[in-house]
Amino acid sequence: MCYFATKLNDPMRFLLFCFLFLYFIPSIAQKKCEYDVEVNDSIGSLKTTKEFLIYEKKFGNNESYVFLSLSNDNGTPVLNFQLVHKNSDFVKAYCIDAKTKLYLQLENGKIVTMLHPNVENCGSFMRNDERNVRILTANFLFLKNHYEDLKISPVVSMRVKYTTETVDYIIRKELQSELLNQFSRPQNYFIDYLHCVEN
């Protein structure tokens, strides 16, 4: 880009053009914010981004999906986590409580730990199209350490410490979802959208 600015005869215009280009590169990389919820009234403010499919696994009759969204609840950033299991047979329940933690392994080697509030939850069960479906929804709070790393380093895996076991989810660089029939880059989720719930 700066090469084309050299066509300008004024060296000050060239420097200004290059400075503006380099300044706006990070904002260009971030995705546009789209919200499912956006409330601001006398009680407080809440905005929540649209759900994003970060993990998908299909094996035989068993299907597992993890959706994430981000919220800003009165100035506090929150990660919303949703686990969906589908199977024509038995669907195992995963539960969360005050000891539940979510860990994000970053490409730069750092691990971001997120905490779950003191609420016990085993999700809900339903039957849909002759299949058993279990949905677990949880909120996790960001800790200050390594928060900034989420903005610059991709997430390569996610570990959730449920009440009875710990489960690892490998996060793909690129995902062509069979469920949604769309392409995405799950590893860049926080790089692309964390800015939507700041301020």
Q: Domain map of the chain by residue range?
A: 1-30, 34-197
Write down the pTM of the prediction.
Answer: 0.83
Q: In the chain, which residue ranges form alpha helices assigned H by DSSP? A: 2-5, 11-29, 189-193
**Mapping DSSP to helix (H, G, I), strand (E, B) and coil, where does residue 7 land?**
coil
How far is the C-alpha of 97 from the C-alpha of 105, rounded, in Å? 22
Q: What is the pLDDT of residues 173-186, one digit of tens each?
A: 999 999 999 999 99
Question: What's residue 23's pLDDT?
Answer: 44
Q: Are 111 and 105 contacting, i.e. CB atoms less than 8 angstroms apart?
A: yes
DSSP string, 24-67: HHHHHHSPPP-EEEEEESSS-EEEEEPPEEEEEEEETTEEEEEE
Q: What is the pLDDT of residues 85-120, one digit of tens each?
A: 999 888 889 999 999 999 999 999 999 999 998 789
Give the chain's mean pLDDT. Answer: 87
How far is the C-alpha of 150 from the C-alpha of 194, rounded, in Å? 8
Q: Is the dihedral of CA 107, 116, 141, 63 positive or negative?
A: positive
How far is the C-alpha of 155 from the C-alpha of 168, rounded, in Å? 13
Residue spans of the chain under pLDDT 70: 1-30
Give me the amino acid identity at 137: T
